[in-house]
A = this chain, B = another copy of it.
Amino acid sequence: MAGAVFSRLAHKIASIEGPVFPLHVGDTWLPPFDAGRMENLRYEDWQGIHKYTSPQGMPALVDAIVDKVRDQNGIPAERAGVLCTAGTTGGLAAAVGMLAAPGEEVMILAPHWPLIRGIVESFRAVPVLVPFYDRVDSLEAAVAAVRACITERTVALYVSTPSNPTGVVVPPPWLQALAELCRSQDLWLLSDEVYEHHAYRGEHASIGSFAPERSLSAFSFSKAYGMAGNRTGYLVGPPAAIAQCRKISTHTFYSAPTSGQIAGLRALQSGDSWLAESRRVYQQAGDRAAQILGEPPPAGSTFLFLDVADRLDERGIFGFLEDCLDDGLVMAPGPSFGRGHYDSYVRLCYTSAPPDHVAEGCRRLARRLGR
A15-42 interface (Cβ within 8 A of B): 25, 27, 31-32, 37-42
A218-240 interface (Cβ within 8 A of B): 226-232
A249-276 interface (Cβ within 8 A of B): 250-260
Residue in contact with A39 in the complex, picked from B25, B40, B55, B102, CB distance below 8 Å? B40
Contact B231 A255 (CB under 8 A): yes
With known contacts A39-B40, A43-B39, A229-B258, A3–B246 Cβ distance under 8 A: yes
Q: Is A86 an interface residue when CB atoms closer than 8 A count as contact?
A: yes
Complex Cα gap A53–B53 (Å)? 23
Q: Is A49 an interface residue when CB atoms closer than 8 A count as contact?
A: yes
Main secondary structure of the interface of A (DSSP, over half): loop
Q: Name which of A102, A122, A230 has the most chain B CB atoms within 10 A of its CB.
A: A122
Contact B228 A257 (CB under 8 A): no
Contact B31 A251 (CB under 8 A): no
Quote the shortest CB–CB distance from A52 to chain B (angstroms): 5
Contact B25 A226 (CB under 8 A): no
Chain B residues closer than 8 Å to A115, beta-carbon distance: 250-251, 254
Residue in contact with A251 in the complex, picked from B1, B38, B47, B49, CB distance below 8 Å? B1
Complex Cα gap A97–B3 (Å)? 16
Residue in contact with A27 in the complex, picked from B39, B51, B122, CB distance below 8 Å? B51
Residue in contact with A86 in the complex, picked from B122, B123, B229, B254, CB distance below 8 Å? B254
Q: Is A336 an interface residue when CB atoms closer than 8 A count as contact?
A: no
Quote the shortest CB–CB distance from A73 to chain B (angstroms): 23
Quote the shortest CB–CB distance from A194 to chain B (angstroms): 12
Complex Cα gap A109–B225 (Å)? 44
Q: Which of A87-95, A139-147, A148-156, A202-210 contacts B (4 or more CB under 8 A)?
A: A87-95
> Which residue of chain B has the shortest Cβ distance to A250 in the bound complex?
B3
Complex Cα gap A40–B87 (Å)? 24
Quote the shortest CB–CB distance from A166 to chain B (angstroms): 21
Given A39-B42, A90-B254, A93-B252, 5 other A-B contacts at CB below 8 A?
A: A1-B247, A89-B254, A121-B251, A124-B124, A231-B258
Closest 5 pairs between A and B when the two form their complex, measured CB to CB? A229-B258, A86-B253, A118-B251, A253-B253, A93-B252
